[in-house]
């Protein structure tokens, strides 16, 4: 009986060791938004520095119109969509894979920063998806403010 429990436990733990793919683009299901009283360029640099400080590596930057069907920006308006690399964290019974998209829009005298989060928590026989992380968003917003 003891042997059967060990074999079952071993198979359960081994079946959860699969890499998970999270798409680069994250839809705005639960975006976290904040406006900063700074220019677009300063906010972009502060955002990139804040991501680096928190251990998120920037993968690519895109024009948001490639992925979203919003109205075209007027000439002179700036916007960018930043993709981060997937971050993996392993625990005893599960693994978590997370990714961020940061959408910056230049407003009149401000810059809007929108954080989009996606994570997959992989258990041995089940996967859960999350699109909300208030603690991370608030931490990133505080870091951006400290760099401005």
Concatenating the DSSP letter of every residue in 47-77 gives: HHHHHHHTTPPEEEEE-GGGT--PPPPPTT-
- ∠ CA 97-102-107, nearest 5°, is 165
Choice between 130 and 19, residue whose per-residue pLDDT is larger: 130
pLDDT value at 99 more than 90: yes
Report residue 41 as tokens. Answer: 């360029």
Q: Model pTM?
A: 0.78
pLDDT value at 107 more than 60: yes
Residue where the block lists tokens 């998120």: 56
Mean pLDDT of 68-81: 73
pLDDT grade for 21, boundaries at 50, 70 and 90: low
Measured CA to CA in angstroms, residue 124 lies from 10, 91, 121 at distances of: 11, 12, 10
d(C-alpha 30, C-alpha 12), whole Å: 32
CA 2 to chain centre: 43
Q: Which of 79, 83, 141, 81 is nearest to 111 (CA)?
A: 79
CA 147 to chain centre: 20
């Amino acid at each position: 009986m003891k042997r059967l429990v060990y074999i079952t436990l071993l198979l359960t733990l081994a079946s959860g060791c699969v890499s998970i793919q999270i798409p680069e683009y994250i839809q705005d299901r639960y975006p976290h938004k904040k406006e900063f009283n700074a220019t677009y360029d300063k906010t972009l640099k502060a955002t990139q520095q804040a991501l680096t400080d928190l251990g998120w590596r920037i993968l690519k930057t895109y024009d948001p119109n490639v992925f979203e069907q919003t109205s075209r920006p007027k000439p002179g308006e700036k916007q960018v969509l930043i993709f981060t690399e997937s971050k993996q964290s392993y625990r005893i019974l599960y693994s978590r894979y997370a990714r961020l998209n940061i959408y910056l829009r230049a407003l009149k005298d401000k810059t809007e920063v929108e954080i989009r989060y996606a994570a997959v928590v992989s258990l041995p026989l089940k996967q859960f998806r999350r699109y909300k992380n208030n603690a991370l968003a608030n931490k990133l917003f505080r870091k951006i403010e400290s760099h401005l």
